[in-house]
């Protein structure tokens, strides 16, 4: 190697356009982690704590989550706050299936994570028996600080995603042959509010 090859190359910053290099995985994950759109599925007191988290004192806008989506087709984080009765199990499963990929789930509180104090036949003993869960937030109910910490953990998990990992986001295909399968029309009827004491629904003939 000649001495001329070791010379420093002087570059005029104004002579060329600015550019930056990075990994595509990092760039995509950075954009996703900073713009998570949660869909709240609140059924009990944990939903009140989530409302406090979204209010001005704790300010979820710092994490890019101020856009609460009440449409599963426009959300990528399902935030289950509260106990889930067996009647709502097919409903939350259908909501999860309607969300586009990639999507994540936060289980907020003891009731959503394990059934909590409701260890009986009427309450689902953990929503992870219905849908996959990414982050568990313990507490009964957890304070807003705990939920914020869970959101930060989810953001770290999103930053670790890799496009070449094809098993990370696998869609759940409904097993229509299973005895646990409920068709969407029946789910709609079950989830409607009761009209009166004889359990008449709006879809009833």
Question: What pLDDT digit, counting tens, does each position of 112-126 carry?
Answer: 888 888 888 888 888
80 labeled part of a ligand binding site:
no
What does the alpha-carbon distance between residue 108 and residue 147 come to, in Å, rounded to a whole number? 7
What does the alpha-carbon distance between residue 114 and residue 124 come to, in Å, rounded to a whole number? 8
Residue 185 in this model has a pLDDT that exceeds 70: yes
Average pLDDT over residues 72-98: 86
Structure confidence at residue 180 (pLDDT): 65
Residue 8 in this model has a pLDDT that exceeds 70: no
pTM above 0.85, yes or no: no
DSSP string, 99-159: SPSS-EEEEESHHHHH-TT--STTB-S-GGGTS--SEEE-SSSPPHHHHHHHHHHHHHHHH
Give the residue from 100, 32, 39, 24 showing the smallest Cα distance to 64: 32
Structure confidence at residue 136 (pLDDT): 93
Give the residue from 19, 3, 23 showing the smallest Cα distance to 11: 19
Domains defined along the chain, listed by start: 22-164 (3.40.50.12280)
Structure confidence at residue 197 (pLDDT): 46
Residue 4 in this model has a pLDDT that exceeds 70: no
Contact 92/107 with Cβ under 8 angstroms?
Answer: no
What does the alpha-carbon distance between residue 160 and residue 92 come to, in Å, rounded to a whole number? 27
Contact 83/43 with Cβ under 8 angstroms?
Answer: yes
Average pLDDT over residues 136-148: 88
Residue 87 in this model has a pLDDT that exceeds 90: no
pLDDT: is 48 or 203 the higher one?
48
Average pLDDT over residues 158-183: 75
**Token reading at 89:** 């199990």
Residue 177 in this model has a pLDDT that exceeds 80: no
Asked which of 46-60, 77-91, 93-107, 132-146 is least confident by mean pLDDT, the reply is 46-60
Structure confidence at residue 196 (pLDDT): 47
pLDDT: is 191 or 82 the higher one?
82
């Amino acid at each position: 190697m000649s001495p001329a090859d070791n010379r420093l190359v002087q570059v005029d910053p104004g002579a060329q356009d600015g550019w930056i290099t990075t990994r595509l995985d990092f760039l995509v994950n950075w954009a996703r982690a900073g713009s998570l759109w949660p869909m709240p599925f609140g059924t009990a007191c944990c939903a009140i704590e989530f409302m406090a988290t979204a209010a001005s004192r704790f300010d979820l806008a710092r994490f890019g989550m101020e856009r609460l989506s009440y449409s599963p087709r426009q959300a990528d984080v399902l935030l289950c706050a509260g106990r889930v009765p067996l009647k709502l199990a097919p409903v939350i499963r259908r909501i999860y299936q309607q969300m586009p990929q990639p999507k994540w789930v936060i289980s907020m509180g003891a009731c959503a994570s394990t059934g909590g104090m409701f260890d009986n036949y009427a309450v689902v003993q953990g929503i992870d028996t219905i849908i996959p869960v990414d982050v568990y937030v313990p507490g009964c109910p957890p304070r807003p600080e705990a939920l914020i910490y869970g959101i930060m953990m989810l953001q770290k998990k999103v930053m670790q995603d890799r496009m070449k990992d094809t098993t990370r986001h696998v869609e759940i295909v409904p097993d229509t042959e299973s005895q646990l399968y409920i068709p969407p029309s029946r789910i709609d009827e079950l989830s409607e509010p009761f009209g009166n004491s004889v359990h008449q629904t709006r879809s009833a003939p």
